[in-house]
Amino acid sequence: MSEFELDRREVLAKLLPDHGEYLLVSGLAGSSKDAAELTDDGDNIFTMAGAMGAAVSIGLGIALSAPKERVAVITGDGELMMGIGSLATVATMMPNNLSIICIDNREHAETGGQKSHTARRTNLALLAKGAGIDSVLTVDASEQLDEAAKFLINTPAPRFVWVRVMSGPPSLYKRDLHYDECRLRFKTAYLDRKNKREIH
């Protein structure tokens, strides 16, 4: 029996109950499906495709270019490890509007369930701390989700939340796979929100 009890499909709604207030960036595979269900494939989400390891870097760029917006990256352990150096860049730039949520199932589910680094010795919370991110939280039980939701609002950004979930499928939500249209939709929403913030 797994020592982890969290079902990934129930995590994001509790962590980001006000997800409409965010600009969201999701990594590949499971995290993109979970995030799409959370937002009903909303225009405030930028979903990665074919660029594994780039979610945090894209989120950082958005956070720096729209400092009045709340930005959250939703990624997985495998995707994050492919761009782990981005955490050091986040710590160097210190955007005060960026949160990173890593949903860690300790496996590469899309390619056959091979064990990822975190199934062995790699501790993503220590990596985030070592990179220089001060606000770091580990979540591996349902009773910690309320605390984590408050953490994402009340602690100084940038923030990193390492959510360790049980092995299991992501959301079955059917995403819009017309990526060019999705990116244009996000760009329009991004510019609209950014312009409104700057006016006010």
Find the CATH number of the domain harbouring 76: 3.40.50.970
Its pTM surpasses 0.95: no
Q: Is residue 117 a part of any domain in this protein?
A: yes
Please report the pLDDT score of residue 181 as a whole number: 83
How far from chain centre, in Å, is Cα 20?
15
Q: Is residue 191 a part of any domain in this protein?
A: yes
The span from the CA of 185 to the CA of 176, in Å, is: 12
Mean pLDDT (the chain) is: 89
Tally of domains within the chain: 1
Q: Is residue 162 a part of any domain in this protein?
A: yes
Please report the pLDDT score of residue 174 as a whole number: 75
pLDDT at residue 91 above 80?
Answer: yes
β 114-115/107-108 pair status: antiparallel
Q: Is residue 51 a part of any domain in this protein?
A: yes
The span from the CA of 23 to the CA of 59, in Å, is: 9
pLDDT tens profile 137-191: 999 999 999 999 999 999 999 999 999 998 887 877 777 777 788 888 889 988 8
The span from the CA of 107 to the CA of 95, in Å, is: 30
Cβ-count burial of 192 within 10 angstroms (0-12 exposed, 13-18 middle, 19+ buried)?
Answer: exposed
Which of 27, 32, 46, 16 is closest to 193 using CA atoms?
A: 46
Strands, DSSP E only, in 48-156?
70-76, 98-104, 107-108, 114-115, 135-139
Q: Is residue 1 a part of any domain in this protein?
A: no
pLDDT tens profile 2-46: 577 888 888 999 999 999 999 999 987 788 889 888 988 889 999
What domain range includes position 26?
Answer: 8-199
pLDDT at residue 113 above 80?
Answer: no
pLDDT at residue 65 above 90?
Answer: yes
Confidence of residue 1 (pLDDT cuts 50, 70, 90): very low
Confidence of residue 109 (pLDDT cuts 50, 70, 90): low
Encoded amino acid at 118, one letter = T
Q: Is residue 148 a part of any domain in this protein?
A: yes
Confidence of residue 49 (pLDDT cuts 50, 70, 90): confident
Q: Is residue 33 a part of any domain in this protein?
A: yes
Q: Is residue 90 a part of any domain in this protein?
A: yes
pLDDT: which is higher, 117 or 112: 117
In the chain, what percentage of residues exceed pLDDT 90?
A: 57
Q: Locate 25 and state its tokens.
A: 């960036």
pLDDT at residue 107 above 60?
Answer: yes
